[in-house]
Structure 1
Amino acid sequence: MKTNSVRTLNTDSSLLKQINYVRILGLLRCNAGLSRAEIARRTGLTRSTVTVITAELLADGLIRQGAAMASQPGGGRPGMELDLNPDGAFFIGAAIEADHIKVAELNLAAEMKAKLSMPLTDTDPDTVISQLVQLIQQLRRANPFSSQRLRGIGLTTPGTINRDGVLIRVPGLNWHGVNLRKYLEAHVTLPLFIDNDANSAALAEVYLGSAVQSDSLLFLLLNEGVGSGIVINHRIMRGANGTAGEVCELMIDDQNLIGSEYGQPGSFGALVGKAGLLKQYQQQVGKMAELSDLIEALNNEDKDAYNLVSQWAGRLGQGLANIINIINPERIILGGSLTALLPYIEDQLSQILTSELLGNGEFGFFSTPNSRWNISEFGEDASVIGGAVLVYQSLFQIPDLVLLNL
């Protein structure tokens, strides 16, 4: 769910030039300090073409020229190092979450330069969008230099979003059929990119995180409910209607009567999401409780709390194994608030996955050296960073052509 690429596409020789523009920019993103000669060697482009394209990139402020490189054997004038200019472009990520809205700004070096958040006290769409726009404006006013080089805004939200930026359903906010694009375009003139939180977080891992070298990834987002983003060959797998990865209704235990707005009774979303887990914990302790209370009980070696989390790990492992068996990803990354529980059940989860996977892990996942699962390094900022990456990736793509690893 995104707008057209920031760079307008034409045809014929102009299109070829823009493809080469993306190729060279992508190459420098992954390999800093290359000379023009080395760029020509790696891309197969002529030196004259590389000279023209790098001159355009320098004029656009996206790359910078550094020191002269050491002379090569055989003489000749030493080349100049080229790499990305961190201040050449900026990207705003915005995230609507269950209880907060956040905005953040990343530069071309993928460094977070600023972040703002606000508690979500009213779930009315008009109110939420108005507050979000205020945060974006506040962020821009505080950073006037970067505001002049903004490439767009990427918005993420939980729930199901179609290709037109319409929220089909958002549990927790009770939104149905909300046209986010229409709401925001009335207030924002920058290019707008919209996707759900799990897809966006998955892209963040592929472009900036621990899955940069992976061809396929399953990102499981464990918040109030459960969502997933699936990346194949560096692109989000969306399905026919843009709803691929909606794993919340995956049935885990049809005898279990625990349900929530995040899934029907016995489903993955109801049993593994935070809303369902806390409902069980509150029944156990006989009072209202938060995730922090459950973690405190685990730290105090509370046997009942540990048994509950162990049961939760079993359901998480079962659902995760079912998804892995279907899509066979190279990497699995878990993110969201419930990853705070994973250190307590890490060994148990790995054992469950091994036993539940095809061939007990002898083939498929875990059968190759690079296959493993880990916790997202982006923590609670995974969604808002993912929003910024929706815009960031547009610099390195043209429609239907991704040139990430050159």
Structure 2
Amino acid sequence: MPRRPLVGQGSNSVQLRRYNERIVLQVLRRVGEASKADLARLAQLTNAAIGGIIQDLAAGGMIETLGKRHSGGRGQPATMLQLAPNGAFGFGVRLDRTLIETVVADFSGHIIGRRSHDRILPSPEEAVAIVASDIAELIELVDSDDRERIAGVGLAMPFNLGAWLPELGLPTDTFAPWDGIDFKTMLEEAVRYPVFFENDGTAAAIAELFSGIGQHEDDFLYLFMGPAIGGGVVYGGDCLKGVNGNAGDIAMIPVSRSGLTSAPPPRGVLDILLTRASIVSLKRHIAYRGHPVETRAEIEQAIAARNPAVDEWLEDCVAALAPAIWSAISVLDVPLVVIDFDIDAGLPDRLLADLEIALQETAPEARRPPRLMRGSFGPDAGAAGAANLPIFFNYSPRAAILTGRVADKGAAEDGPERIRAMPQGSRSSRSA
């Protein structure tokens, strides 16, 4: 069957101009501050084009001047520019099986307020009420004159809340009401802002790409160890989502059975990484050894007290993580693995040190282990990722903008197109 011709896929000067404006914003986000000449060079735009773009962005309140910088040579000092923190705002909602967290972040990605509920997820109706109440409180942190700059609400949550509950040690009946629920629409109706929905691992990876290590590294596997373990893939400065939005879902990688007697029996010959590498599995093992813990603070107290159960879990976790990472790296061929954590008390540094040794010891012939780096946000990763979503989708350059397929407020509905972290300016619009 012949392919149908593409209709309406061209671009015009308005779309090209909008695309290049977003490139400039992305460059500033990545370098922090820059002069007009810096921006022209980094975005590969002409001086005439960059001048008009800077003028429009400044008039729109998206960028601001920092002052003058003298290069040491002749001539006038250059005016330095940066993103205006109040250029836009985003709410972020991290919805997990054992946590509800809502934050508000400014245009630079800085979290200026939060509300957190460390609890088993309630019914969808109660969860909506909690989040709506939190947003109503947090909006007071945004000046009334700036509230029209709120870009929307980012929602980061697992796609399948009711899956793998036995492996996570959670009650199945509690999550039955979530089956088939369109929480995004429920939340949109309650808060009256556009809601941008992503898998929680992908959202955290977007935060790392947008405001963290991705400002300096273009290729890495991103992992977040929360109640479960999730992740994302950053490749060539893009956040790869996959056909179903599950790219980087390392939790499902098959691994050998756990050596811990606290682990639930696997469903088959092999287990999955989720069972052995997650905060829920740590919590389960500490409780199995006679010290029940519920909240993140209680888990961190057990870690700080050098509870022997923590050491036992750490050994089992690293033994599962190392082959899982090698499996992912063999496919992705990226040089870096970034891991962030929902808890601290020294555990992340211990895990990364042990994992580095395990990766070296299990390296295939003629292969070097990937570098390991700790993520930028810690417990804030999921919420920061969610808060970044409305800003990311509204103000990042994407190829779909050039074809007119992206509406500013409906960008999250456009499917899993690849999103450039800092592309060059459109060559067809060098004077746009």
Report the TM-score when normalising by structure 1.
0.81
Of stretches 297-306 and 172-181 in structure 1, the one that deviates more from structure 2 is: 297-306
The residue number in structure 2 matching 1:283 is 288
Q: How does 1:365-380 map to 2 (within 5 A)?
A: 365-366=369-370, 372-380=371-379
CA gap of 1:263–1:227, structure 2 versus 1, over 3 A, is farther
Q: Contact 2:251/2:273 (CA < 8 Å) preserved in 1?
A: yes
Q: Contact 1:259/1:265 (CA < 8 Å) preserved in 2?
A: no
The residue number in structure 2 matching 1:343 is 349
CA gap of 1:65–1:336, structure 2 versus 1, over 3 A, is closer
For residues 193-240 of structure 1, give each alpha carbon's deviation from its aligned partner in whole angstroms, at most 9, with x where no partner exists.
Answer: 111221111111112113322122212222222212112123222222
CA gap of 1:364–1:401, structure 2 versus 1, over 3 A, is same
The residue number in structure 1 matching 2:362 is 356
The residue number in structure 2 matching 1:4 is none
CA gap of 1:185–1:261, structure 2 versus 1, over 3 A, is farther
CA RMSD of aligned residues (A): 3.3
CA gap of 1:273–1:39, structure 2 versus 1, over 3 A, is closer
Q: Are 1:158 and 2:176 an aligned pair?
A: no
Query: Greater relative contact order (Cα 8 A, min sep 6): structure 1 or 2?
Result: 2
Q: Distance in 1 between matches of 2:376 and 2:419?
A: 28
Of stretches 138-147 and 148-157 in structure 1, the one that deviates more from structure 2 is: 138-147
Q: How does 1:12-27 map to 2 (within 5 A)?
A: 12-27=12-27
For residues 313-351 of structure 1, give each alpha carbon's deviation from its aligned partner in whole angstroms, at most 9, with x where no partner exists.
Answer: 212323233222222222212223366533344433212
Q: Contact 2:276/2:316 (CA < 8 Å) preserved in 1?
A: no
| Equivalent of residue 267 in structure 1, options 265, 272, 284 | 272
Secondary structure of 1:154's partner? strand
- Offset, 1:44: 3.9
Q: Are 1:249 and 2:255 an aligned pair?
A: no
Q: Are 1:386 and 2:385 an aligned pair?
A: yes
| Equivalent of residue 243 in structure 2, options 234, 240, 245 | 240
- Offset, 1:132: 0.8
Q: Are 1:229 and 2:232 an aligned pair?
A: yes
The residue number in structure 2 matching 1:47 is 47
The residue number in structure 2 matching 1:61 is 61
- Offset, 1:23: 2.2
Q: Contact 2:63/2:81 (CA < 8 Å) preserved in 1?
A: yes
Q: Distance in 2 between matches of 1:337 and 1:73?
A: 48
The residue number in structure 1 matching 2:149 is 149
- Offset, 1:294: 6.5
Letter in 2 for 1:115: R
CA gap of 1:71–1:237, structure 2 versus 1, over 3 A, is closer
- Offset, 1:363: 2.7
Q: Distance in 1 between matches of 2:354 and 2:421?
A: 39
- Offset, 1:72: 8.8
Q: Contact 2:98/2:227 (CA < 8 Å) preserved in 1?
A: no
The residue number in structure 2 matching 1:190 is 193
Q: Contact 2:155/2:184 (CA < 8 Å) preserved in 1?
A: no
Letter in 1 for 2:231: S
Letter in 2 for 1:113: I
For residues 354-383 of structure 1, give each alpha carbon's deviation from its aligned partner in whole angstroms, at most 9, with x where no partner exists.
Answer: 222332xx43544xxxxx212223111110
Q: Distance in 2 between matches of 1:232 and 1:262?
A: 33
The residue number in structure 2 matching 1:404 is 422
The residue number in structure 2 matching 1:3 is none
For residues 83-126 of structure 1, give each alpha carbon's deviation from its aligned partner in whole angstroms, at most 9, with x where no partner exists.
Answer: 22122211211111233321112212222211122344652112
Q: Contact 1:203/1:236 (CA < 8 Å) preserved in 2?
A: yes
The residue number in structure 1 matching 2:213 is 210
Mind listing any 5+ residue stretches in structure 2 that lack a counterpart?
1-8, 401-417, 425-432
Q: Distance in 1 between matches of 2:386 and 2:191?
A: 15
The residue number in structure 1 matching 2:202 is 199
- Offset, 1:255: 8.0
Q: Size of the alignment, in residue pairs?
A: 383
Letter in 2 for 1:352: A
Secondary structure of 1:139's partner? helix
Of stretches 247-256 and 20-29 in structure 1, the one that deviates more from structure 2 is: 247-256
Letter in 1 for 2:128: I
CA gap of 1:262–1:229, structure 2 versus 1, over 3 A, is farther
Q: Contact 2:230/2:250 (CA < 8 Å) preserved in 1?
A: yes
CA gap of 1:178–1:168, structure 2 versus 1, over 3 A, is farther
The residue number in structure 2 matching 1:127 is 126
CA gap of 1:205–1:33, structure 2 versus 1, over 3 A, is closer
Q: Contact 1:225/1:273 (CA < 8 Å) preserved in 2?
A: yes
| Equivalent of residue 322 in structure 2, options 308, 313, 317 | 317
Q: Distance in 2 between matches of 1:192 and 1:154?
A: 6
| Equivalent of residue 176 in structure 1, options 175, 179, 201 | 179
CA gap of 1:23–1:243, structure 2 versus 1, over 3 A, is closer
Letter in 2 for 1:14: V
CA gap of 1:194–1:326, structure 2 versus 1, over 3 A, is same
- Offset, 1:180: 2.2
The residue number in structure 1 matching 2:312 is 307
